[in-house]
Amino acid sequence: MALSDDLDRIGTAAAEHAAPGERVTAVLAAQPLGRDRTYLCAYAGDAGGTTWLALDDDARPLADLRAVRDAAQLAALCEVAADGAGGEELDDLRRQLQELHDRENPPGIEAAIAAAAAVAAALADEPRVATTEFLDRLGALVRELEQALGTGSASPFATSMQQALPAVEELAADVERNYKGALS
């Protein structure tokens, strides 16, 4: 079964846990290292605010605080990494590199073009399961691109990931505070 089918299946199951006036707004798949796949479901209500529920692959709610927190942190990290590595900036960079190649063809431009294409390919797999392997692969590909662009020893991507850690922790805390059920 494709991931999109799993997300639809879990979204349907998650809707059964919605309170009156609440609807499922997102289903994120995460598989923390050494754990089974977890689906983090976000709910929005008419009164505002977001509530959360984590379901296992059999669409059963999870009550394990550590499992839910790990899934929330990993899903958030993967989203931050994908946003930091892609988007319009990557598309613009790829266009600029190709234009530079066509105009001047400086040494190393092919490596930069290839590295940018590899990052774009890694981001093309959507929807995706948030995994540590995805983070590691994307981080390595972005670092390769940074080096091809001559950013030196400092990694802007790594710096942005470090700066995002408080937001990742806040999301995990929000999931815990607004969880639809008891966590232990």
Residue 141 domain boundaries:
79-166
Secondary structure element (H or E) that encloses residue 97, with its range: helix 88-103
Same domain membership, residue 94 and residue 153: yes
Instruction: Let me know if residue 65 belongs to a domain.
Output: yes
Same domain membership, residue 114 and residue 155: yes
Q: How many structural domains are present in the chain?
A: 2
Q: How distant, in Å, are the alpha carbons of 40, 43, 50 from that of 69? A: 10, 17, 16
Distance of alpha carbon 123 from alpha carbon 144, whole angstroms:
15
Same domain membership, residue 153 and residue 102: yes
Q: Which pLDDT belongs to residue 88?
A: 79
Q: Which pLDDT belongs to residue 1?
A: 63
pTM for this predicted structure? 0.92
Same domain membership, residue 83 and residue 162: yes
Positions of the chain with pLDDT under 50: none
Given 73, 103, 130, which residue is the final one in a domain?
73
Same domain membership, residue 69 and residue 11: yes
Instruction: Let me know if residue 179 belongs to a domain.
Output: no
Q: Which pLDDT belongs to residue 14?
A: 98
Checking phi first, is residue 33 left (phi over 0); if not, alpha (psi -120 to 50) or beta?
A: beta
